[in-house]
Amino acid sequence: MIQATAFSRLCRARDTLRDVDSSLSIDQVAREAEVSPFYFIRQFQALFGETPHQYRIRARLELAKDLLESSDCSVTAVCMEVGFSSLGSFSDLFARRIGVSPSVYRRQFRSRVALPGFVPAMEIGCLSLMAGAFAILEKQVAPLSGRLGA
Amino acid sequence: MKIKLTSIMVDDQDKALKFYTEVLGFVKKMEIPVGQYRWLTVVSAEGPSDVELSLEPNANPAGKAFQDAMFKQGIPIAAFEADNLDEEFKRLKELGVVFTQPPTQAGPVAIAICADTCGNLIQLYQPPQG
């Protein structure tokens, strides 16, 4: 059981970790939450499924993706905007987690949204994903059923 | 018309699949890659033909804001039925699940609230017996 006060503190800590302008270390965020760093990490992970550090990195990469999709900022500017100081480590981490480098991610995203009639990936977060999934499935199955029908 | 599908927004689909299958005990039904996400659904092992639950990425800022606000207010976003809530509570606690409310009798129904580790609170309930 988690008490209401501890729950609120952990929610506030999560907001701080998501804030790219915050330069607080994990230990400092734990102090703000009025718990020891050890207990903070354990509680945070139990509630949010990842450590504070993992959460902060994921939040920054998600913001980087948003900026690459919707702004014309250079990759270097995006890197700085989301709180990384080294372009090399940002690009490496981005490529490791997202699968492609930031510049390739932007190119791929823009080529997708430029296709007429294609619903941009930005809109995902509703059941519209289902339509895309079944369209893909149909394409994979169609050649086979075409052959069977012939 | 039937109600066969519903959805829950999750902040990470990998994390969600792990929690909903390995911890809650549901079973994966669909997993189809769509761009950088997946059409990902689970069903209950006890009722595989019951309602299918889609674990949707909360990539839409509007969805994120809604999910975040509900979580902070302590409001559950979905409810799952348990035959024996006390047993489920004990089992899930041993697996490290965080509860914001232990099993509590609310008239004929018992309810408990826990975090799904993906940005949501889930209500577990035991319906009236008999």
Distance from CA of A98 to the nearest CA of B (A): 8
Q: If we measure between CA atoms, which residue out of B120, B101, B23, B121 comes closest to residue A2?
A: B101
Give the per-residue pLDDT at B12: 92
Whether residues A3 and A41 share a domain: the answer is yes
Q: Identify the closest residue of chain B to A59 by CA–CA distance.
A: B11
Give the per-residue pLDDT at A116: 54
Residue position matching structure tokens 């319906």: B127
Q: Identify the closest residue of chain B to A42 by CA–CA distance.
A: B96
Q: If we measure between CA atoms, which residue out of B22, B11, B18, B4 comes closest to residue B118?
A: B11
Give the per-residue pLDDT at A82: 93
Is the pLDDT confidence value at A121 over 60?
no
The CATH number of residue B68's host domain is 3.10.180.10
Spatial separation of the C-alpha atoms in residues B100 and B118, rounded to whole Å: 15
Average pLDDT estimate for B33-60: 91
If one counts the domains in chain A, the total is 3
Q: If we measure between CA atoms, which residue out of B69, B86, B80 comes closest to residue B25?
A: B80
Q: If we measure between CA atoms, which residue out of A83, A85, A93, A87 comes closest to residue A23?
A: A83
pTM for this prediction = 0.86
The answer to whether B115 contacts A129, with C-beta atoms less than 8 Å apart, is: no
Residues above pLDDT 70, as percent of chain A: 83
Whether residues A111 and A79 share a domain: the answer is yes
Whether residues A150 and A137 share a domain: the answer is yes
Give the per-residue pLDDT at B36: 79
At residue A120 the predicted structure's pLDDT band, cuts being 50, 70 and 90, is low
Instruction: Render pLDDT for B51-96 as a digit per residue (tens, 0 to 9).
Output: 999 999 988 888 899 999 999 999 999 999 999 999 999 999 999 9
Give the per-residue pLDDT at B37: 86
Lowest mean pLDDT among A45-49, A96-100, A145-149, B106-110: A145-149
The answer to whether B59 contacts A112, with C-beta atoms less than 8 Å apart, is: no
What is the domain range of residue B13?
5-126
Whether residues A77 and A108 share a domain: the answer is yes
- Angle ∠(A117,A130,B37) on CA atoms, nearest 5: 90
Whether residues A44 and A70 share a domain: the answer is no
The DSSP code sequence of chain A is ---HHHHHHHHHHHHHHH-TT----HHHHHHHTTS-HHHHHHHHHHHHSS-HHHHHHHHHHHHHHHHHHH----HHHHHHHTT-S-HHHHHHHHHHHHSS-HHHHHHHHHHHHTSTTPPPGGG-SSTHHHHHHHHHHHHHHHHHHHHHH-
The answer to whether A2 contacts B38, with C-beta atoms less than 8 Å apart, is: no
The answer to whether A137 contacts B100, with C-beta atoms less than 8 Å apart, is: no
Whether residues A61 and A114 share a domain: the answer is yes
Is the pLDDT confidence value at A144 over 70?
no
What is the domain range of residue A143?
119-150
The answer to whether A8 contacts B72, with C-beta atoms less than 8 Å apart, is: yes
Average pLDDT estimate for A15-37: 93
Residue position matching structure tokens 């029908």: A149
Average pLDDT estimate for B113-128: 97
If one counts the domains in chain B, the total is 1
Distance from CA of B104 to the nearest CA of A (A): 13
ipTM, two decimals: 0.91
Give every CB contact of residue A3 below 8 A, 6+ residues apart in sequence.
none
Give the per-residue pLDDT at A148: 47
Spatial separation of the C-alpha atoms in residues A23 and A32, rounded to whole Å: 13
At residue B120 the predicted structure's pLDDT band, cuts being 50, 70 and 90, is very high
Residues above pLDDT 70, as percent of chain B: 99
At residue B129 the predicted structure's pLDDT band, cuts being 50, 70 and 90, is confident
